[in-house]
Amino acid sequence: MSKDLILVESPSKAKTINKYVGKSYIVEATVGHIRNLPKTKLGIDLENGFEPKLVNIRGKGDVIKKIRSLAGKSKKIYIATDPDREGEAIAQDIVDILTDPQKEKIERVMFNEITKKAVNEALNHTIKIDEHLVTSQRARRVMDRIIGYQVSPFLWRAVIEAYGSSLSAGRVQSVALRLICEREEEIEKFIATEYWSIVAVFKTEKGEEIKAKLYEVNGKQIKVPPKPQMNENDWEEFLKTNFAISGVELANNIAETLRSKKNYTISDLNKKESKRNPYSPFITSTLQVESSRKLRYRPRRTMMLAQQLYEGIDLGSEGTTGLITYMRTDSVRLSEDVVSEARNFILEKYGQNYLPEKAKNYESKNKKNVQDAHEAIRPTSLKYTPEFVKEYLDEAQFKLYELIWKRFIACQMESARLETTTVSISADEYVFRSSGTTILFDGFLTLYDEDLEDSNDQNGSSGLIPVGLELNQKMKLEELTPNQHFTKPPPRYTESSLIKELENNGIGRPSTYAMIMGTIIDRKYVEQLDRKLIPTELGRKVNTILVKNFGNIFNVNFTAQMEGELDLIADGEIGYLKVLNDFYEPFSKTLVEVEANLEKIKCDKCGSDMDIKMGRFGKFLACTNYPECKNIKSLKDFAPNGGAPEETGEICPKCGSKTVFREGKFGRFIGCEKYPDCDFTKVVTLGLKCPKCSDGEVITRRTKRGKIFYGCNKYPDCDFASWTMPKAKEEEEPAETSEEEY
């Protein structure tokens, strides 16, 4: 008896679905894509409508053969690939490898969660493959291939000294690199400005303390001084409406005056109630951001764990069960059924006070760029509480599931009510201010709060303001402290803040963020120190070349425009050819100009141009006059000093030769230029004494997975290790500084 065939991408997904559908179905996995553009050539007909030449992926022959065999024996063929562009493209690839009689048996099924109810409903309500979604994916792939194949070789030639690196350019990854490099340039050009704050501790007659910061002098609010390069006229204009404590002499004079004052009183007392609304349910980007901040998981790891939770976890007697909805989404929509279920759960567990009168409805900020085919990321069933599933998940899976669970339940809970009390304490022309916030009703905060990375103390807030204060009440000055500060440069991006920046600019999509982060780090364009993204020398060199030559292509506006047009293809509002022409016309024009200005490497045998080729052992230079001239050269021959490593300027203590910088498995180190004849090596230290043994120095090291940490160069005699860079003993923690402090 013939059976129906269900095709999915993942073996684990196939296993979960197989449990739900029974013996009348065969569930088979494609194990990802089965067709792609060819590896060894462009694979796009630029002269005839940018038609892609897709080929079967090498190594997938057995999978394709099995699919064809099963399709021939099946009554119906259900394609159940993921509900997004990539899933739709894989569905079309399956159609393309089958015969016409087999194609007539095909039905497309789509579900947002892998549960018995969702799978069976999908099988009973089949749809057609979305041609617009497929076309959008093809356009994205073609655009990326053109850039990769036509810009990357240019990079190989332009950065020929980096012959050992796998250089590449990407439509979105290069913009991400540009943002990181531009931020680094801002930091390097930043000139710190000195300023002072004055903090006082006052006491009431009952002995209650209030910590406050000097806020106003002569009716002018204290502000951080402008940039030091400000001209005299602008400085005078600034001081007409603001007051700046810009140096130690002024700070001490003000402090001396304040200490002499005896008549401090409460001049203003203000209480204000406010609401704090719950956060929207997770989408891909916000999940990656929060997972990075709360759990310290990199985006790639977050998506891997989310994939496991989506495809199914063995819950013992419950069997293999999908625990969350599809994790690649930019929609915050929730189904009415699951919202109703959440409201019942909140009422039962937390009580009536925590249940809003009406269900909370969330709308995407940028509706035109949202793919609303499926819901936000949420648990598939409220039966599977974190406590219920904990014993079946490993620690990392559990932490991510708990985060998703709490965010979802909290999004349907009542808002928190807060009361902020602001008190002003004055003596003549000087006004101190302090504020504190009290939670009147915790609402959703009882379950979930979004800890901010860059919170700072505003208005001298002490957090608690004594109750029972009154206007004109006398206060006693207990302490007064002038504090020196320096303005800080803009912060480096973290993976989470870079994802937010890309998303805010309309760059990248749910399925691409983790890949973008991974690519720029794997290519060694960027490294992470204390979770901050710092461009490497190679990354900055690549960015400089790309911005100089392709600045109109690798920029935020053009990339966002292309993303928007790809979305319009998916919506059926614009054609494939229009979008590719919009991209290729400015790109090809720029490429021609760049090629014309690029210095050619000439063949030393026939005088023709040399071009970079890819061979079994990597990239090499070959004469374009082949086969008449078969001259080839190693890229190393054209690198500065023949590709010799950078000298340190020091002498090898072992043999007297020069020492050079080298790259090893665990990072940069110093070695003898005569290696392997001389095996002298030395670690590159950071100039900091080890905080544990005080004898060794701190060095940067890497784990087997490439993650950077800090250790002592006396290891194993000293086992000091830290994920964060230690500070020198005399170095104080810099104060958080911004205008908002005042």
* Residue 434, SS3 per DSSP: strand
SS3 549: helix
| 138 phi-psi bin (left φ>0, alpha ψ -120 to 50, beta other) | alpha
- For tokens 């493209």, the residue is 89
**Active-site position among 20, 326, 354, 493:** 326
Residue 127: burial class (beta carbons within 10 Å; 0-12, 13-18, 19+): exposed
Q: Identify the helix (H) or strand (E) that includes residue 586.
A: helix 576-597
| Cα 687 to Cα 600: distance, rounded to the nearest angstrom | 43
- How many CA atoms lie within 13 Å of 319's alpha carbon, on the beta-carbon side? 9
Task: Please check whether residue 671 is in contact with residue 662, taking contact to mean a CB–CB distance below 8 angstroms.
Answer: yes
Using CA atoms, how far apart are residues 71 and 83, in angstroms rounded to an integer? 22
The Cα–Cα gap between 109 and 161 comes to 51
Cβ atoms < 10 Å from Cβ of 494? 19
Exposed e or buried b for every residue in 144-171, given b needs 16+ CB within 10 A?
Answer: bbbbbbbbebbbbbbbbbbbebebbbbb
User: Counting Cβ atoms within 10 Å, is residue 463 exposed (0-12), middle (13-18) or buried (19+)?
Assistant: exposed
Alpha-carbon gap, residue 362 to 378, rounded angstroms: 14
Strand 4-8 vs strand 77-79: parallel, antiparallel, or unpaired? parallel
The secondary structure of residue 294, as a DSSP letter, is I
The helix (H) or strand (E) run that includes residue 502 is: helix 495-504
- 3-state DSSP percent of the chain in helix, strand and coil, to 5: 40, 25, 40
Gap between the Cα atoms of 216 and 459, Å rounded: 11
Whether cis (ω within 30° of 0) applies to the bond prior to 228 is no
Is residue 475 within 8 A of residue 202, CB to CB? The reply is yes
Query: Residues near 56 by Cβ (< 8 Å), separated by ≥ 6?
Result: 34, 35, 64, 97
* Residue 694 Ramachandran class (φ > 0 left, ψ -120 to 50 alpha, else beta): left
Q: Is omega for the bond preceding 676 within 30 degrees of 0, making it cis?
A: yes
For 710, the token pair is 């800090």
- Tokens 């980096």 -> residue: 162
Query: CA–CA separation, 548 vs 181, rounded Å?
Result: 13
| Residue 418 and residue 697 in contact, taking contact as beta carbons nearer than 8 Å | no
Q: How many C-alpha atoms does 533 have within 13 Å on its Cβ side? A: 28
Active site residue 215: no
User: Which residues are part of the catalytic machinery?
Assistant: 326
